[in-house]
């Protein structure tokens, strides 16, 4: 993946959330839970393990990697449920109080922290 700035990283994360919401409404088999569980295949994951790794000296970077991996595990669980025919309510699975949404927010917050610290340190 080419260069991606922090705003593009956040947008990639939000785009993935939308994709999962669409999938819950119509589980067509296009998403594979075992692939989703991998945290290095999406645009943000490729950035974390690629260009974004230049921020790895910032302590919050390890937090970002951890919460991003947890985000993918939670997403994979939702896809597994949707694929198994279990009715998955979008509000329950992706709503404000859901584990998935809480982890997703942690990803966004970690990105903002890293960006702020990177700016303070003249890295961006």
pLDDT digits (tens, 9 = 90+) for 44-80: 999 999 999 999 999 999 999 999 999 999 999 999 9
Phi, psi of 98 (to 5 degrees): -70, 150
Is residue 86 predicted with pLDDT exceeding 60? yes
The better pLDDT of the pair 89, 36 is held by 36
> Residues 45, 49, 55, 59: is their CA dihedral positive or negative?
positive
Assigned domain for 83 exists: yes
> Rounded to an integer, what is the distance from CA 19 to the centroid of its chain?
11
Assigned domain for 58 exists: yes
Checking phi first, is residue 46 left (phi over 0); if not, alpha (psi -120 to 50) or beta?
A: alpha
* Domain CATH code at residue 30: 1.20.120
Assigned domain for 108 exists: yes
Q: Please state the pTM of the whole predicted model.
A: 0.88
Assigned domain for 54 exists: yes
Domain count, the chain: 1
Assigned domain for 1 exists: no
What's residue 1's pLDDT? 43
What's residue 91's pLDDT? 67
């Amino acid at each position: 993946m080419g260069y991606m700035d922090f705003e593009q990283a956040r947008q990639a994360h939000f785009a993935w959330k939308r994709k999962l919401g669409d999938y819950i409404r119509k589980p067509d088999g296009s998403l594979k839970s075992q692939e989703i569980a991998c945290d290095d295949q999406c645009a943000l994951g490729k950035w974390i393990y690629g260009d974004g790794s230049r921020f790895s000296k910032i302590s919050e970077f390890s937090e970002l990697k951890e919460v991003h991996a947890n985000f993918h595990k939670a997403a994979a669980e939702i896809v597994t449920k949707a694929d198994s025919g279990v009715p998955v309510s979008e509000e329950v699975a992706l709503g404000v109080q859901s584990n998935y949404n809480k982890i997703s927010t942690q990803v966004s917050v970690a990105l903002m922290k890293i960006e702020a610290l990177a700016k303070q340190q003249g890295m961006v």
